[in-house]
Amino acid sequence: MKFENLSYSAYRQKLFDTQFTVTDLVTTFLNRINEGKQHNAFISILEQRALQRAAEIDKRIRQGKTGKLTGLILAVKDNIHVKDVKTTCASRILSNFIPPFSATVIKKLEAEDAIIIGKTNMDEFAMGSSSETSYYGAVHNPVDPECVPGGSSGGSAAAVSAGMAVAALGSDTGGSIRQPAAFCGIVGLKPTYGRVSRFGLVAFASSLDQIGPLATNVEDCARILEVIAGYDERDFTSANVDVPKYTNSLKQGISGLTIGLPDEYFSEGLDPYIRRAIINTVDLLKKNGAEIVPVSLPHTDYAIADYYILATAEASSNLERYDGARYGVRADEVHSLEQMYVKSRSEGFGNEVKRRIMLGTYALAAGYYDKYYRKAQKVRTLIKRDFEKAFTRCDCLITPTSPTTAFKIGEKTDEPLAMYLSDIYTVTANLAGIPGMSIPCGTDENGLPIGLQLLAAPFQEEKIFRIAYHLETLLNAQ
């Protein structure tokens, strides 16, 4: 049996029927990781840890003790702490850092018998849209190895797409789960801000970051979110809101739901193949009982500029702690405290991280704070109000996930603005704090995956799952 081609929902019962063991699963996926080294999807492979966990879970299965995610083989982005395993954030400055605790999401997953098989490659400190800024080298897209897998959770997306893990965790600050999911032809969910604890996630931009799942299908994402969502007193941004059983909403159908199409997301700059694929998919939903209405999000044009002021400002503050004194890499041959700071940070951070620190520091400077940062916060409020108004007219929004399909490795590395525009359709969800999901809905003329994005009001992930599952079923039937 080729375990790597099965979703968790497909093989879970077979595992309980003892058609194979969790140890068999782990061994199979470790072999797949070894065979897929050319994708550079992993920074750390937790072979012994995973095999030991598998043996323990096999014993519990024989005893009739099973968790909600028994035997789920999971990859984890390398900015999420797993106790006693290196967390590098794909940066030289953290290349020797081993956290003494696990993130809340890891504790929740392992309590339900999921198995962490490795830590995945990413853009350094989650700053990028292509997974090329990693200290450990670029990640390659399994669909076309000459192309990027998207970023910053590119390693997680590549691992799932290549069958090296059943599912993965990523983090999404401006599209870093959804855009890689679109580029690699899988499903990726950014939950509502506060829905999932950020305790144990290395911060990029604290008011924007959110952990979420990537998988080959909608149901597996729903199963994972049921486990990782919920209030955490250790995260002061965690929302004390009840967590629904998301899998119950999957088969409710779409009859009676209203779906909005934002005019601003279908304007100039969108690849015509993507436009056609989205519109065809919307027509499919309409034929199956959904009502389609036009909506407007008038401040969308300001989103990229707004995001890159706020995100870089928060990054500047968050990355101040990496100074070579407390943890992480410290520069050699220094003769003063100031020299240690300068040299450690200069040698430890890559170019994109340095660029964003400088942009953020500039935006927060005394002479520019009102002109940039304060004004950006006001625009953020306007973007949030746009969504609030739109959701009075519809249950969910459908947009493209990205204006293009996966581009070639190296194509945009010397053009930061072109790279930043890859996130033009995803950053708004982070600015507004709303949930968003990307699901595959076709391919372009080169066979590269196209992603469709679903957006809903805060804590309305159930609606997204409901529409996404129905849409997935319709598309798979074609």
Helices (H), 162-262: 178-184, 218-228
Catalytic residue among 91, 131, 152, 438: 152
Are 363 and 372 in contact by the 8 Å Cβ rule? The answer is yes
Terminal-to-terminal C-alpha distance of the chain = 26
- Catalytic pick from 77, 190, 412, 463? 77
Question: Is 291 exposed, middle or buried (CB count within 10 Å of its CB: 0-12, 13-18, 19+)?
Answer: middle
Alpha carbons within 13 A on the beta-carbon side of 181: 36
Helix or strand holding residue 118 (H, E): strand 115-120
Structure tokens at 15: 């595992």
Q: Is 2 a catalytic residue?
A: no
* Residue in 176, 197, 422, 438 annotated catalytic: 176
CA distances (Å), 188 to each of 112, 253, 401, 449, in order? 21, 20, 11, 13
What distances in angstroms separate CA 447 from CA 31, 183, 418, 438, one per listed residue?
A: 27, 11, 23, 18
**Contact between residue 456 and residue 464 where contact means Cβ atoms under 8 Å apart:** yes
Q: Where are the alpha helices (DSSP H) in 365-446?
A: 375-390, 416-420, 427-432
The answer to whether residue 152 is catalytic is: yes
Is 134 considered catalytic here? no
By annotation, the residues acting in catalysis are: 77, 152, 176
